[in-house]
Structure 1
Amino acid sequence: MALMESPFKIILGSSSVARRHILAKMGYDFTVMTADIDEKAIRKEKPEELVTALAEAKNDLIYENRRDRRWFLSFIAVFAESYFLLIGLIDLEVVVHEGRIREKPSSKDEARHFIEGYSGGRAEVVGSVLVTNLKTGRREAGWERAEVYFHDIPAQIVQSLIEEGITLNVAGGLMLEHPLTSPFVKEVIGTADTVMGLPKSLTERLIQEALTCP
């Protein structure tokens, strides 16, 4: 567990509530700064290569934006009384189902297709974490994989998830921690935090490596 009075602060390059919750439970102070990129413009055949490439693209944008005076002042306003070492942290994940990579659904119909496909079956989640030390420029990256096995998911549950709309904002339309989804999770091989988008042990290791002098 990280100490609350750490000598650095973290930028979380994700608006995910689950990721914010995980990072807070790890004991870190952080602020959220997202980066808008065209994720569909970046294509890789292997899921681990794709999540790493997406993380790098978002990281690059935030890293370059640090030179923008408005960006810098907004960050200082958050941590005005802290002496800190800036750490930028970006995380991405995709779902792999029957050998095909699934990112965020592009429509409710696609989200329905995704979720119905998990019923009584399995899916893999591949997540990447990229940590950049904004003071030294040092980067450390890694990825983790987890498998999720499902019971049959009733049609009314699928419909409720679609109507709620939150599945459009997560990779593969899969939200393990959702109260409608969790009762139908049969088994997770790997860690739940990997499925939720921020593997804690990997994140902790990369932060410590990024802090190490080259």
Structure 2
Amino acid sequence: MSELILASQSPRRAELLSTMGYRFTVITADIDESPLPDELPEHLVLRLASSKADAVWQTSLPSITTDTAVLAADTIVVANQTILGKPKHFADFTRMMRLLSGSTHTVMTAIACRNSAMSEAQVVTADVQFCTLTERDIARYWDTGEPKDKAGGYGIQARGGQFVQQVHGSYSAIVGLPMVETKLMLQKFGVYA
């Protein structure tokens, strides 16, 4: 059975992977996550996940074996064709929440895996419908501290879930790691829970 490295500092991804029964080591990737000019959201999230897997693979050589697989993921939120990253400050967060309020947005999570013989990546999307938010909802949620490290400024698995009216697609992809697709991809790399 192959050894698994998770190229992510996200505690949510690690928790989902553990819940699935996998044993793994965490090594974080340090890459530039800035979008390229005119880059489409799907291309961005695929590029970021693949770059994280490649970066960890390269920095871990030669200490890893040919049986080692590196799994990486990246999540973005897209509203009105605008990519919403992690909020930089309260004003940025408020802008994001106003965009999401009372509307449906798309969450894209890309997963990428590589070993010495091959690499693969795919995007899983889900649509999320938000209720209408008041200015007080927005300010109180910011004050919890939760939005500061979340793509799109909210965590569906925590307090941010109170704003979600409906989900169409993979819930675990919204959290940060699509469980079904991850399991199927890891099996191709000889990694089993």
**TM-score, length basis structure 2:** 0.89
Residues 44-88 of structure 1: CA deviation (Å, up to 9, x unaligned): 5221111111112222211111126xxx4xx8xxxxxxx993111
Name the larger-Rg structure.
Answer: 1
**Percent identical:** 29
Aligned to 1:46: 40
Aligned to 1:12: 6
Q: CA RMSD in A?
A: 2.2
Number of residues of Structure 1 aligned to a counterpart in Structure 2: 191
Would the alpha carbon gap of residues 139 and 110 (structure 1) be closer, same or farther in structure 2, given more than 3 Å must change? same
Q: Say which structure, 1 or 2, has more relative contact order (CA 8 Å, 6+ apart).
A: 2
**Which residue type is aligned with residue 210 of structure 1?**
F
Give the one of 138, 142, 151 matched to 2:118: 138
User: Is it true that 1:103 corresponds to 2:68 in the alignment?
Assistant: no
Give the one of 68, 75, 100 matched to 1:86: 68
**Which residue type is aligned with residue 167 of structure 1?**
P
**Which residue type is aligned with residue 161 of structure 2?**
S
Distance (Å, rounded) in 2 between the aligned partners of 1:43 and 1:204 = 33
Distance (Å, rounded) in 2 between the aligned partners of 1:184 and 1:199 = 21
Q: Kindly state the Cα deviation for residue 166 of structure 1 after the two structures are TM-superposed.
A: 3.0
Deviates more, 1:89-98 or 1:99-108: 99-108
**TM-score, length basis structure 1:** 0.81
Would the alpha carbon gap of residues 162 and 114 (structure 1) be closer, same or farther in structure 2, given more than 3 Å must change? same
Would the alpha carbon gap of residues 102 and 158 (structure 1) be closer, same or farther in structure 2, given more than 3 Å must change? same
Q: Kindly state the Cα deviation for residue 107 of structure 1 after the two structures are TM-superposed.
A: 2.3
User: Which structure 1 residue ranges, 5 or more long, are not aligned?
Assistant: 1-6, 76-82
Q: Kindly state the Cα deviation for residue 163 of structure 1 after the two structures are TM-superposed.
A: 2.2
Give the one of 191, 194, 201 matched to 2:170: 191
Give the one of 93, 102, 107 matched to 1:125: 107
User: Which structure 2 residue ranges, 5 or more long, are not aligned?
Assistant: none
Distance (Å, rounded) in 2 between the aligned partners of 1:113 and 1:28 = 38
SS at match of 1:40: coil
SS at match of 1:39: coil
The ranges of structure 1 where at least 4 consecutive aligned residues each deviate by more than 6 angstroms after the TM superposition are none
**Which residue type is aligned with residue 72 of structure 2?**
I
